[in-house]
A and B are shown apart, each in its own frame.
Chain A
């Protein structure tokens, strides 16, 4: 579904992405793992077209995304730090996104209900805590039933109950045959979620393999231990 070919991006002297090539198919739940500053968020932003690669290209459903925008209709994106216009209320933000996406029907309001956001509709974004903001971001990402979900550190800042709710939702969407891309540092959470692992380091894609293959290669059952072994080698 998403194919990246030789994507390179430099920020000044820093190579954020160095010749990254990979293929993501639907029905997969892919974890993007790597140390801080390894280029995970840059890769995600390149897929979303928020960062334009210096060289290489990314295709979404077999068409190059450069200068295209319609394809984002099929992507739900949850940013690492959800930032919204301060003066708007939660209700207004939700309405605005529905208005922009031009969708009134077939909305997936599971998360809005699960996080009971409808009781907070009149709260201004400025007054929200980091966790509530994350809930809004998550609800927005799932709201339009997109074919691809891109979640950047989805559970950071969420309380255990909410993060469990979000995980259940992610699994449910994966079962429906959607492509889910997750970055996270909390590896223990990813164990029962992901089917494939992309490991990045210093902008380079080190490997992309299924979780079973990784377990076999490292001889570790737990993802966190398997990754720790990869990192020390």
Chain B
């Protein structure tokens, strides 16, 4: 397994897109921090950049990479290797290289300007988001044979998680405005890894006071250790479940 991960990582690192992605994050992080006089404000701006860019790049790059490695996968499947090993190595290689790219691009500036709990949470959340969207991309690619369809599905998934989901939640909130929706909102937020990440970081910044009553309920829940453990667990589940489903599907896939 280690061997294949090694080949996948060397192959990805040869790819210029990952380099450009790292550079982009790096420049964005540094400019955001130097534009704001208060580094915690800078962190907030960076958060918005990360929540949009990291899932987008992770999901699309992984989808395209897997489709482009169809030959490589076929070659490996005809060798004495377990299919599970091949698939998990692919996932491991993608997740590792995109996490490294995120850490160098955004992690190092954050550590320089804001080396405290919030900064560390931000790095952890960004890394988790990278891995989650690699897992989601793998699920999308294993389900569709057609490259165009698969990439379309990946873009739709990203759009859903970063935009449509919030719209749906707002719609729900308006429809059920007469009912106390604050507690169910906690459960609903676990359905979207991007929202969960945003809440996790916002609650550690002072701006949570601006989120009104829902913010207070969130702070009550997510501010506690149980809340943090719950959200981390939810994020890990967002990795484990797609990987598990896609591995199962890949095991019986015709190549």
Contacts and interface: CB of A to CB of B under 8 A. Distances in A.
A1 B73 CA distance: 27
Nearest to A42: B254
A52 interface: yes
Contacts, number: 57
Contact of A72 (B69, B79, B252): B79
A45 interface: yes
Contacts of A48: 77-78
A83 B79 contact: no
A97 interface: yes
A69 B81 CA distance: 6
Contacts of A69: 80-83
Interface in B74-88: 74-83
Nearest to B84: A69
Interface string B10-28: 0100100000000000000
- What class of interface size applies to chain B in its complex with A? 20 to 34
B254 A83 contact: no
Contact of B79 (A85, A87, A100): A100
Contacts of B14: 87
Contacts of B74: 50, 79, 83
Q: Tell me the interface secondary structure of chain B in the complex.
A: helix
A49 B78 CA distance: 7
B3 A85 contact: no
Interface string B53-94: 000000000000000011110111111111100000000000
A100 B76 contact: yes
A96 B8 CA distance: 11
B77 A50 contact: yes
A85 B66 CA distance: 12
B75 A84 contact: yes
B190 interface: no
Contacts of B4: 100
Contact of B255 (A50, A96, A100): A50
Contacts of A51: 254-255
B89 to A, nearest CB: 11
B171 interface: no
Nearest to B75: A84
Contacts of B253: 52
B80 A79 contact: no
A181 to B, nearest CB: 14
13 contacts: A45-B254, A50-B255, A51-B254, A69-B82, A72-B79, A72-B80, A75-B78, A79-B74, A84-B72, A87-B14, A99-B3, A100-B76, A101-B80
Interface of A: 11, 45, 48-52, 67, 69-73, 75, 77, 79, 83-85, 87-88, 96-97, 99-101
Given A72-B81, A84-B71, 17 more contacts: A11-B254, A49-B77, A50-B74, A50-B77, A50-B255, A52-B254, A67-B251, A69-B82, A69-B83, A72-B78, A72-B79, A73-B80, A79-B74, A84-B72, A84-B75, A85-B71, A97-B79
